[in-house]
Each structure stands twice: as structure tokens, then as C-alpha cells.
Amino acid sequence: MDTRTLSVSHLLLPLRVLPSSQNQTFSFSSSSSSSSSSSSSTNINHHRVTTTTTTPLAIANPTSAIIPPTADDDTVPITLRQLCQSHVPDQLLQRMEEVGYVMPTPVQKQALPRLFSGRDCILHAQTGSGKTLAYLLLIYSIISTRKSSFQALVLVPTRELGMQVTKVARILAAKPTGVEGEQRSCTIMALLDGGTLRRHKSWFKAEPPAIVVATVESLCQMLERQLFSLGNLRVLVVDEVDFIFNSSKQVSSLRKILTSYSSCNNRQTVFASASIPQHNQFLNEAVQQKWTKRDVIHIHVSPVEPMPSRLSHRFIVCDIKRKLQTLLSLIQSDAPESGIIFVSEQSEKSKKAGNSPSTSLVIDFLKTSYHGSLDILLLEDDMNFNSRAASLLEVRKGGGYLLVATDVAARGVDFPEMTHIYNYDLPKTAIDYLHRAGRTCRKPFSDVNCTVTSIIVSQERFVLQRYENELSFVCTELIP
Ligand SMILES: Nc1ncnc2c1ncn2[C@@H]1O[C@H](COP(=O)(O)OP(=O)(O)OP(=O)(O)O)[C@@H](O)[C@H]1O
């Protein structure tokens, strides 16, 4: 008897409901939205899949039992190649293995069969769990390199994340070692804020790329000028979907892309994030607003553990005047391989008052007082795109570094060597805490432990406690 468990929404699995304080910061509805909360009771045919429960296969005759491994069976190892075999071109699978992707992560194992079946999906899994590879494999299973048309679109909230996704997509599309021949290769365009639209326009005219990785604003500018259309689009991925919907600058353009410039009936739609607050409402809204088809699946991996278990959380209470010194002492005693020091973005009021941003204070202090071997780098919203790219390039060269950053570095950016996160300023919401913390623990099969440390003043303890409750983690106090 096969007792594997595939949980769908009408089989009542315990699902974590996000607390109301988290909900307050987030809304998918706009004033122009035609749906209302009552719409959630309509007969929507979406499914939810979780990976919380799996029971072993009962094998009737062990000696002859060659049961093909399936994605929902955790007891039988299954490779990425087996999962992708009849869907993704062999050359791409070869390349995937060559760059080190052999075994699937839990989200890949859960999602790929459903993605290959053509269903719209919401990929909801921990930071660093490999959602990018999951949706890129879907894209490579769908697009045809024989066609010279724009077939797949990945929308991202920041230039930094766009550059990273483009890089992974290009690495996968490259020829594996030893493969000869003049096969037409897959072209991938990065259409990101800060780029030159004229160059992209000429590229489109000469030969449309098969895949475009774009920030929402840059894409909309091109669409508004009718420089190309989404008419042949077969798959649309929105990465960090909750962030884009929650961004007042990006949400209306995203809505247009989803419903005016393209139709969910003509494409497969995938939304990805480690955080989808009010996910039931989002699912209903996605269907009501025709962002996805009615049978969209919610793939929710580790719903009761939204952050990696290898991550330990600490806090230290100090006087506000001693924060810099406390930071330095922590760095000296932790001796991180690499670390990010998250600092709040400077408010408009503080800018107008002519104050220095906190990032400058921290950078200047570390440059004079830190005498260790780590490089000190800066990544913040107010830097121009070239300086931001230069900082990330330094980070990617390898070697240890301390990156002083605002939340621009908190979403999606992959820092594989990162071991320590310091919240010099507390994040504004529990969701922000989760994404900052998620810049560590980015090697899916590693057992290296990582640490997040928040440096707080005593009045902030209750805020941190709220995040602990919302995200189900325990923060231990360090006594100075
Ligand atoms: N199957 C795999 N085997 C080994 N490494 C993998 C595999 N899949 C992904 N990775 C690696 O895991 C890391 C995290 O992957 P990715 O950036 O896709 O995470 P994510 O789920 O998108 O996280 P976030 O929510 O923070 O954006 C990357 O360095 C990636 O190369």
C-alpha cells in the first residue's frame, strides 16, 4: 500500500497562519481592486501542497521492489536528472550537473513535477532553498531555442537580484564541457533599472532573446513604448512576489504586466518568495484578479519553520552610545568568515537635517577601528548602480568581507559564504528580519551553523520578541 501523503487544501493539514501584526504591513489589494474579502469564499480550485508529513512506502515484496522514486517520497533518493529527464533538454541537464546541481532541494523535489505538469504555482519556501533553479528548470523545459521569440520572463524587484538570476540562467544555458557543434544557444537579456534602453531596443529588433530577466519599471517602459510585446510569452515568473506587490513604486506596473500586457490563460505563471503573508488571501486574489489560472497550486515547504534550522539567533542589549563598540567586540569574538551589518536606510527627515547616514557612521568607524583581515564594503540604496555593482563584484570575488548594507541587500541576493548577520538597526518587520537572516545558510546541503545577532537598546526587546513569536524562533541573550 502506498501511504505517501500529498496534502491538498481540503485535507486539513495544520498550516501556520501568519499573525496579524505581520499582516498589517502587507496588502495585495489596491483601491482599484475589484475583489473583496468575500471573494475568498468562491469556489476556487487551487491546491496547497506542503512537505510536512511523509510516511514511508510499504513495499509488498522487498526483493523485487523496484519502485520508481517519486517526488513526494522522502525515503527514496531522487536526482535532479530523474526529476527533469523527459522535460529539460539533456545538454542542459549535463550542464546542471557539471556546475554542481545533482540532488534536488526539498522545494525543487516538490515543485518540479507540478511545474512540469503545466500548473501555475506559488513557490513558498525558506530563503536559500533553491527556488531560482526550480523556476529556471521550468523555463528551460518550455522554451524552444529554435524559435527566435521572447518566451519567458522573470520579474525581480532589484537590479542586484536581476543580475544574479541572469547569471545563473546563463551558466545553465552554456554548453557543457565536451559538447561540440553549432547548436543555437539560448539568449538571455537582463533588462534592469540603470541599464540603457536603447541598447535593449536594438537587441530586440535584431533578434529577440528567449528569456528576459527584468525589473518591473524597466520592462513597463519598454512595453509602454511598444518596443515589443508579451504576445508569445509562455512562462512568467515573479520572484520576491510579496515585495513587489508591497512596493508602492512597483505594484501598479506589476498588475499591468500580469493582466493588461499578457493574459494568465496564455502563459504559465509562477510566483516565488520565502514570505507570502496572508497566503490564503493572496491565492484567492491571484485567481480573482486573473494573475493566475483557477487551479493554481500553493507549494509551501516547511510552513512551521520559516527560517533555516541551522541558524541561531542572538541579541545583545546595550546603550545607544555603545552600539558601534558593541558591534566591533562581536565581530572580534565571532571572527566571521564573512558578515553583513544591516543598517536602516536614512529617513528623508534626517537627510534634510543634513545628518550623516548610519551606513557612513558604521563604515567610518570600522575603517578606523577594525584591524582584522576582512574587507569592508558598502551596499546601500543611495549609491549609484555602478558602485552597487562594484561592491557586489568584490563580494563575489571570494575572500572574507564585512558588508555594511541597507535592506537593498536583504532580498534574494545569494551570498554563499556568509556566516554572520548583524542587525545594527532592527529591521522594521518580521518579514524583513526573515529575509536579512536568510542571507546566511545558503548552501542547501551544508551543515555549517550561522548566526544572526541583533544589537538593541532595552526598549527594543519587545519588538524582537514580537518577531520571535511571528517567525517561531528563539533568540538568546548575550551578556556583555
Ligand atoms: N540542487 C541544488 N544543489 C546544490 N546547491 C543548490 C541547489 N539548488 C540551489 N542551490 C544553491 O543554493 C543557493 C540558494 O539558492 P537560491 O538563490 O535559488 O535560493 P532562494 O530559494 O531563491 O532564496 P531567497 O528566498 O533568499 O531568494 C544558491 O547558491 C544555489 O546555487
371 CA distance to ligand 1 centroid (A)?
33
Nearest residue by C-alpha to atom 8 in ligand 1: 130
pLDDT at 34 exceeding the cut of 60 = no
CA–CA dist 190, 416 (Å, integer): 22
Q: Which three three-digit cell numbers place residue 70?
A: 517519486
Ligand 1 lined by 132 (C-beta under 6 Å): yes
Domains of the chain in sequence order: 7-301 (3.40.50.300), 311-478 (3.40.50.300)
CB 52 within 8 A of CB 302: yes
CA–CA dist 379, 404 (Å, integer): 6
Nearest residue by C-alpha to atom 19 in ligand 1: 128
- In this structure, the number of other CB atoms found within 10 A of the CB of residue 68 comes to 8
Q: Which three three-digit cell numbers place residue 426?
A: 532592527
Nearest residue by C-alpha to atom 9 in ligand 1: 130
240 CA distance to ligand 1 centroid (A)?
14
Q: Percent of the chain having pLDDT more than 90?
A: 67
Ligand 1 pocket check: which of 79, 132, 138 to mutate, most ligand atoms within 8 Å of Cβ?
A: 132
Ligand 1 pocket check: which of 105, 276, 408 to mutate, most ligand atoms within 8 Å of Cβ?
A: 105
Band (pLDDT 50/70/90 cuts) for residue 30 is very low
Q: What is the pLDDT of residues 98-125, one digit of tens each?
A: 999 999 999 999 999 999 999 999 999 9
67 CA distance to ligand 1 centroid (A)?
29
Report the pLDDT value the prediction gives residue 398, as an integer from 0 to 100.
76
Name the phi and psi angles at 431, rounded to 5.
-60, -40
Instruction: Name residue 140's amino acid.
Output: Y
Which residues lie closer than 8 Å to 281 by C-beta, 6 or more apart? Answer: 28, 37, 40
CA–CA dist 240, 231 (Å, integer): 24
- Which residue is it, cell 528569456? 211
Ligand 1 lined by 131 (C-beta under 6 Å): yes
Nearest to 8 by CA among 314, 297, 439: 297
Ligand 1 lined by 162 (C-beta under 6 Å): no
Ligand 1 lined by 339 (C-beta under 6 Å): no
261 CA distance to ligand 1 centroid (A)?
30
Residue 290 Ramachandran class (φ > 0 left, ψ -120 to 50 alpha, else beta):
left
Q: What is the pLDDT of residues 441-473, one digit of tens each?
A: 999 999 899 999 999 999 999 999 999 999 999
110 CA distance to ligand 1 centroid (A)?
15
101 CA distance to ligand 1 centroid (A)?
10
Ligand 1 lined by 431 (C-beta under 6 Å): no
Q: What is the pLDDT of residues 310-347, one digit of tens each?
A: 999 999 999 999 999 999 999 999 999 999 999 999 88
Ligand 1 pocket check: which of 84, 414, 448 to mutate, most ligand atoms within 8 Å of Cβ?
A: 414
CA distances (Å), origin 306, targets 12, 270, 274, 300 = 20, 20, 8, 10
CB 251 within 8 A of CB 244: yes
Q: What is the ipTM of this complex?
A: 0.99
Q: Which three three-digit cell numbers place residue 428?
A: 522594521
